[in-house]
Amino acid sequence: DTAVSQTPKYLVTQMGNDKSIKCEQNLGHDTMYWYKQDSKKFLKIMFSYNNKELIINETVPNRFSPKSPDKAHLNLHINSLELGDSAVYFCASSQEWWGLQETQYFGPGTRLLVL
């Protein structure tokens, strides 16, 4: 059983398009995250949701809009894609968003290439 899954695994699209990446976790966790890993392998947090509420928004352009329909899902919608959005996007989850139960479980990543 995959703990944190993401779809699609690969996404190739043209500049200006709108695309979504889906994430699901079956761990019963309350908190989910989106990270972006650029070509230099630097991993940067973008958003965090706890119980479907946004708790962290790290200066991400408003073209990026996360949506959490329920605790097990956190989707990422990106409008008007730009070349600089090309990266690997990782979803993660943890039991809580602060405190001692913060071990994060990451998905396999979605490799986005904007042409």
Partner 1 sequence: DAKTTQPNSMESNEEEPVHLPCNHSTISGTDYIHWYRQLPSQGPEYVIHGLTSNVNNRMASLAIAEDRKSSTLILHRATLRDAAVYYCILRDVDLGANAGKSTFGDGTTLTVKP
If one asks whether residue 10 binds partner 1 (CB under 8 A), the answer comes out as no
| Piece in contact with partner 1 (CB under 8 A), picked from 20-28, 62-70, 78-86, 95-103 | 95-103
If one asks whether residue 113 binds partner 1 (CB under 8 A), the answer comes out as no
Beta strands 110-114; 87-94: pairing state: antiparallel
* Among positions 12, 15, 43, 54, the unique one binding partner 1 when judged by CB under 8 A: 43
CA–CA dist 92, 83 (Å, integer): 24
If one asks whether residue 30 binds partner 1 (CB under 8 A), the answer comes out as no
What residue has token string 């809009």?
Answer: 65
If one asks whether residue 92 binds partner 1 (CB under 8 A), the answer comes out as yes
CA angle 53, 28, 45 (to 5 degrees): 50
| Piece in contact with partner 1 (CB under 8 A), picked from 12-20, 42-50, 64-72, 77-85 | 42-50
If one asks whether residue 42 binds partner 1 (CB under 8 A), the answer comes out as yes
Contact 74, 56 (CB under 8 A): no
Q: What letter would DSSP give residue 97?
A: S
If one asks whether residue 21 binds partner 1 (CB under 8 A), the answer comes out as no
